[in-house]
Copies of this chain bind each other. A is one copy, B any other.
Amino acid sequence: MSPRRSDPNIRTGLVDAAARLLAEHGPRALSARRVATEASSSTMALYTHFGGMSGLVRAMVREGFVRLEQHLSAVGATDDPVADMALLGRAYRRNALANSHLYSVMFGGSSLAGFSLSEEDRQAGRYTLLHAVECAIRCSAAGRFSAIHPELTASQMWIAVHGLVTLELGGYLIDPLGADRCFEAQLVGLMIGAGDEPEAATRSVAASEQRLEHMR
């Protein structure tokens, strides 16, 4: 009833080849034939495993969320929750820059040919917010953030960092006010906007920068 023979690495080989093509040659190189050739298989394997090109893109999006989750999970909890929150933002941005094309597909609307995210995909994206929510709760418990609605605070963090990353990837943030400078200012501004004291926020953000260097 279930004779399957060569499953193990064709699936991952296809999505890996697709991710590599996307990263190295841009969205234009994402063709079914080229992906199949790169993975040493045929286009039909792509259809038996993913049901079409959009299914493969969806698999890539899920892979992108897995990588984002890994980056965020690498941020531990210390006794300075505001620094933890800033580090979450840095990890988010680092992941987006390291997987920029993937990130564009994950959040870049449905521009890519004939593909639109499912509600399940979006929910996977929203799950990444849980790290920030938990951290916001810790910030409130430590008396750093105003205690009202940590989920709203976490959403503000997400929205702001996402907006910066998107404009950065689009090439809109240039020299006098480059992405780095805007990002640092934004982190401090977010913490202050969430209720933290200006000096404490500045210190915590600076401390998070130190910790980022030591990560991974």
CB contact list, A162-183 vs B, under 8 A = 162-164, 166-167, 169-174, 176-177, 181-182
A155-B182, A156-B185, A186-B159 known; A113-B110 Cβ under 8 A: no
Asked if A159 and B155 make an inter-chain contact with CB atoms under 8 angstroms apart, the answer reads: no
Of B104, B156, B182, the residue contacting A186 (CB under 8 A) is: B156
Min distance, Cβ A181 to any Cβ of chain B, angstroms: 8
Of B26, B158, B164, B171, the residue contacting A159 (CB under 8 A) is: B164
Determine the chain B residues whose CB is within 8 A of the CB of A105 once the complex forms. Answer: 111
Q: Which residue on chain B has the smallest CB distance to residue A159?
A: B163
A190 CA to B162 CA, complexed, in Å: 16
Determine the chain B residues whose CB is within 8 A of the CB of A190 once the complex forms. Answer: 193
Q: How many copies does the complex hold?
A: 2
Determine the chain B residues whose CB is within 8 A of the CB of A104 once the complex forms. Answer: 108-111
The 4 lowest CB-CB distance pairs between A and B, nearest first, are A163-B163, A111-B111, A104-B109, A189-B193
Known: A119-B171, A125-B172, A193-B193. 17 other contacts (CB 8 A): A27-B114, A28-B114, A104-B108, A109-B111, A109-B170, A111-B111, A117-B170, A122-B172, A126-B174, A152-B185, A158-B167, A159-B182, A162-B166, A162-B167, A163-B163, A163-B166, A192-B192
